[in-house]
Amino acid sequence: MGIIPLILWLIQDLLYIIIFPGLVTILVVVVIIIWLERKIAAKVQMRFGPLWVSKKIGGALQSLADLLRYSFQEVIIPEKTDKWAFILAPGLMFAFATIALIFIPVGPYYSVLFPSYYTILFSLALIIITPIFAITVGWASDNKFSFIGALREGFLLISYEIPFLLSVVSMVIIFHTYDYINAVQNQLSFLPGIILNPLAALTMLIVMIRTTGRFPFDITEADSELVMGLFTEYSALFFGVGMATPYVELYNFSLIFSLLFLGGWWPFTLNVMNPVYGLILPGIIVVVKAFIVMAVLVFLRAVYPRYRLDQAVRSGWSYVLLLSILSVILSVVEVMFLR
Amino acid sequence: MSEKVYNIDDLQNINVEGEKYIILQIGPSHPGSGHMRLKVWLDGDIIVKVDPDIGFVHRTSEWLSERREWIKAVPIVERIMLPDTVHANLAYVLTVEKLLGIEPPPRAQYLRSLVAEINRITSHLYGIGIFGIFLGSSTVYMWAFGDREPFIDLMEMLTGARITTSYIIPGGVRWDLPNGFKERAETVLQYMERRLKDYEDIWVKNPVVQARTINVGTLKKEDAIRLGVVGPNLRASGVYYDTRKHHPYAAYSNLDFEVPTMKNGDSYDRLLIRVEEIKQSIKLIRQILKDIPEGKIIADQIYNQLNPVMKKNYEEKKRVMFPAFMIHMRPPAGEASAKVEAGRGEIFFYIKSTGDKYPYRFRWVTPSFRNLPYFTHVTVGHRLADLPTIYGSIDYFPPEADR
């Protein structure tokens, strides 16, 4: 390979990471989803929601304004904290949540850095790393409320990780591949995953709600008990990053959900190797599907209060685990009898 | 529920010294504490002991009232119980009337009951809203606070003020029913009845709410009596006691209403009883507006003190201007006490007069203060996340307890 194609290839990858479906798209999606969350909740609750920043478009830039405010606030690092962990953990949390996107393809000809047949495994591995930094945050803060928040995060992490992996495993069994692109092609030629295995889809949805701290599993930052949970001691941009991370995770999970269960870029089935047809058009379809999933999940805030820790852990080890095991069994049965 | 079962009676025997327990200082500036501090000893996630530290918003209402003319205590006692102003006002005025020996006319009695019931609904909605935000439901919080507004507007129409009405004065009330009040009230009541169904759908019958509140913070009937808790919390534990029924004041002896009671005395029952009482209050308001007799709204003793301009004003506008008697009032020497069923429970007033311009001794006990034992006795053995549940369900209002 010559030097010029190599540079072009790197630039192309960089564009993938930075613009679509990478950082810029994340920023836009997160800004819109936070705005939408607040607007939906406001509609249910007989209020206006964000209004005064950019009044003509209904306050859509409110989240950007908040981000700016976080950027210029004073950074306060309490004296007794573990300083390096305190500073690094939120950034690493955000970074790993974002890096996972490299392995989540949004088009049939998408690959960053290297093409791989194991994208499902890679993306899961990166997603699972993120909560470890959440626990680090709670440990480093030297605050009892953060510490309790971290413990709760740990309990919930352990009890919902296995159902999550099992629900993905059941889809891997059905599609007989570790690659998202193959999984989507399988669905395009047969049926979408949500019809093939609704149990796995349900498990995945519950785990998504839990992992990203949506209601009714908003347990780690229950404000009436733990002030702000993990991020009690944080201020300024660190706090902003910490608040944005669950939304990035939500974006990741929703992309995975739409790839594994909602048929990926269906109904777009044109198979041409071209940046427009191979990435951007199918990519937009996938992102829109993910966005709809996110909108449904953030709507739950308006309906449910939060569960208690022991109730959430108990349901994680009983109903959700059972559901995920059943979904694996369903997949095995389908593979044995349908193929 | 928990591995270790802590008993209320073991409370004194637990040695909380040493490093075994996490000590959490919840408050005084904490989203889940209100204007107080809760010192909590935790064994893992289980609460071993709670020490409520009150007094952060003590406002010396008794001291202030003992150094002012009698009528000036009305705004002071109102400001202690902001969501529930009318009852504080009413309890104080009832005590002063006993000292003065004045009996208000029937129409004034009905108007007192009317404004008290409107205020009870706003107070219960306030409690339900705070309970909602403690469990994490911002929807119920916003709904309840939004639905207080129509009732507060009714109070404004009737009394001229939204919250601190100072409507009830010795001998009667200040304003008569305005024109169009009955129609407006009927609209509001029908609106509230529709909304109660929404509350049932999203809050009372919500599976998460039921999981969080049923069998949490149970106070048995005998314990409730022994600890002396009052109001809806007492009735949620199954005790049939309501000052309106047992020691009637205002127009309650002429009115027909039920006193709802529950069986279990857990947080869910304390939520249900508030919803039931809102329904009863709606029924009472309808009844009062139907039955209200014609006549004066102020006792003759006060009416005779009005000067000609004031009398003309009273005949034209049906509004009582304060005669000089009000500020120079010197009730004869003696003691008096009165009880009123406020939104959160029973207010008790005791005043001693020496025939002076100022009260000699001014003493009152507010319902929130009497519901304080819930923190020490009911929370033990539950999980940390149950603390806001119990706090929200007893509808505790720290400024009211601190006085």
Residues in chain B with CB shorter than 8 Å from the CB of A223 are: 31-32, 136
Task: Evaluate whether residue B109 is within a structural domain.
Answer: yes
**With an 8 Å Cβ cutoff, are A225 and B45 in contact?**
no
Q: State the average pLDDT over residues B215-230.
A: 86
Q: Summarize pLDDT for B356-403 with one digit per residue, the tens.
A: 888 898 898 989 888 888 888 888 888 888 888 898 888 888 888 888
Q: Summarize pLDDT for A29-59 with one digit per residue, the tens.
A: 888 888 888 888 888 888 888 888 888 888 8
- Which residue in the block uniquely carries the two structure tokens 């996490």? B22
Closest CB to B31 among A223, A303, A306: A223
Q: Nearest C-alpha of chain A: how many angstroms from B261?
A: 26
Q: Write down the pLDDT at residue B1.
A: 40
Q: Classify the phi-psi angles of B265: left when phi > 0, otherwise alpha if psi is within -120 to 50, otherwise beta.
A: left
**With an 8 Å Cβ cutoff, are A305 and B137 in contact?**
yes
Q: pLDDT over 70 for what percent of chain B?
A: 95
- Provide the CATH number for the domain around residue B237: 1.10.645.10
Shared domain for B39 and B174, answered yes or no, is no
Q: Write down the pLDDT at residue B8.
A: 55
Shared domain for B304 and B398, answered yes or no, is yes
Mean pLDDT across chain A: 84
Q: Summarize pLDDT for B180-206 with one digit per residue, the tens.
A: 888 999 999 999 999 999 898 888 888
Q: Write down the pLDDT at residue B150.
A: 92
Task: Evaluate whether residue B2 is within a structural domain.
Answer: no
Residues in chain B with CB shorter than 8 Å from the CB of A301 are: 138
Q: Summarize pLDDT for B30-46 with one digit per residue, the tens.
A: 887 778 888 888 888 88
Rg of chain A in Å (alpha carbons):
20
Q: State the average pLDDT over residues A311-318.
A: 88
Determine if the pTM surpasses 0.95: no
Lowest mean pLDDT among A327-331, B1-5, B216-220: B1-5
pLDDT at A221 exceeding the cut of 90: no
Mean pLDDT across chain B: 86
H-helix segments, chain A = 3-18, 23-44, 62-72, 83-99, 119-140, 144-175, 180-189, 193-196, 198-211, 223-226, 236-260, 281-299, 309-315, 321-338
**With an 8 Å Cβ cutoff, are B132 and A144 in contact?**
no
Shared domain for B167 and B19, answered yes or no, is no
Contact predicate B52/B374, CB 8 Å: no
**With an 8 Å Cβ cutoff, are B211 and A223 in contact?**
no
Distance of alpha carbon B161 from alpha carbon A167, whole angstroms: 59
Residues in chain B with CB shorter than 8 Å from the CB of A307 are: 208, 211-212
How sure is the predictor about A1, in pLDDT bands with cuts at 50, 70 and 90? low
Task: Evaluate whether residue B241 is within a structural domain.
Answer: yes
Q: Summarize pLDDT for A130-185 with one digit per residue, the tens.
A: 888 888 888 888 888 888 888 888 888 888 888 989 999 998 888 888 888 888 88
pLDDT at B11 exceeding the cut of 70: no
Q: State the average pLDDT over residues B288-316.
A: 85
Task: Evaluate whether residue B219 is within a structural domain.
Answer: yes
Which tokens is A188 given? 């395009």
Q: Which residues have CB under 8 Å from B399's CB, separation 6+? A: B35, B57, B59, B80, B81, B82
Residues in chain A with CB shorter than 8 Å from the CB of B50 are: none
Task: Tally Cβ neighbours within 10 Å of residue B337.
Answer: 15
Shared domain for B47 and B66, answered yes or no, is no
Top pLDDT among A198 and A223 is at A198
Shared domain for B14 and B93, answered yes or no, is no
Shared domain for B13 and B85, answered yes or no, is no
Residues in chain A with CB shorter than 8 Å from the CB of B30 are: 227
Mutate: best of A46, A225, A314, A319, partner B, most B CBs <10 A = A225
Q: Summarize pLDDT for A253-300 with one digit per residue, the tens.
A: 888 898 888 887 877 776 666 666 767 788 888 888 888 998 888 888
Q: State the average pLDDT over residues A108-122.
A: 77
Residues in chain B with CB shorter than 8 Å from the CB of A305 are: 132, 135-137, 140, 206, 208-209, 212
- Which residue in the block uniquely carries the two structure tokens 């075994």? B20
**With an 8 Å Cβ cutoff, are B388 and A227 in contact?**
no
Task: Evaluate whether residue B148 is within a structural domain.
Answer: yes
Lowest mean pLDDT among A119-123, A133-137, A219-223, B162-166: A219-223
Closest CB to B143 among A46, A144, A304: A46
Q: Write down the pLDDT at residue B119.
A: 92
How sure is the predictor about B2, in pLDDT bands with cuts at 50, 70 and 90? very low
- Bridge partners of B142, per DSSP, are none
Q: Write down the pLDDT at residue A336.
A: 84
pLDDT at B102 exceeding the cut of 60: yes
Distance of alpha carbon B212 from alpha carbon B374, whole angstroms: 17
**With an 8 Å Cβ cutoff, are A310 and B146 in contact?**
no
| CB-neighbour burial class of residue A19 (10 A; exposed 0-12, middle 13-18, buried 19+) | exposed
Distance of alpha carbon B343 from alpha carbon A23, whole angstroms: 53
Residue from A1, A29, A12, A10 nearest A275 by CA: A12
pLDDT at A329 exceeding the cut of 50: yes
Distance of alpha carbon B169 from alpha carbon B93, whole angstroms: 6
Closest CB to A308 among B24, B134, B385: B385
Q: Which residue of B lies nearest to A224 if distances are taken between CA atoms?
A: B32
Structural domain boundaries, residue B23: 9-53
Q: Nearest C-alpha of chain B: how many angstroms from A194?
A: 26
Shared domain for B41 and B85, answered yes or no, is no
Shared domain for B147 and B163, answered yes or no, is yes
Q: Nearest C-alpha of chain B: how many angstroms from A90?
A: 24
Q: Nearest C-alpha of chain A: how many angstroms from B376?
A: 17
pLDDT at B19 exceeding the cut of 80: no
Top pLDDT among B190 and A216 is at B190
Task: Evaluate whether residue B333 is within a structural domain.
Answer: yes
Task: Evaluate whether residue B1 is within a structural domain.
Answer: no
Chain B residues with a Cβ under 8 Å from any Cβ in chain A: 22, 24, 30-32, 45, 132-140, 142-143, 146, 202, 206, 208-209, 211-212, 383-388, 392
Shared domain for B228 and B203, answered yes or no, is yes
Shared domain for B140 and B124, answered yes or no, is yes
Q: pLDDT over 90 for what percent of chain B?
A: 16
Q: Which residue of B lies nearest to A214 if distances are taken between CA atoms?
A: B136
Task: Evaluate whether residue B189 is within a structural domain.
Answer: yes
**With an 8 Å Cβ cutoff, are B138 and A306 in contact?**
no
Q: Nearest C-alpha of chain A: how many angstroms from B137?
A: 4
Q: Write down the pLDDT at residue B13.
A: 59
Shared domain for B32 and B74, answered yes or no, is no
Shared domain for B234 and B307, answered yes or no, is yes
Count up the domains in chain B and report the number.
2
How sure is the predictor about B3, in pLDDT bands with cuts at 50, 70 and 90? very low
Task: Tally Cβ neighbours within 10 Å of residue B81.
Answer: 28
Residues in chain A with CB shorter than 8 Å from the CB of B383 are: 308-310
State whether residue B164 is helix, strand or coil. coil
pLDDT at A242 exceeding the cut of 90: no
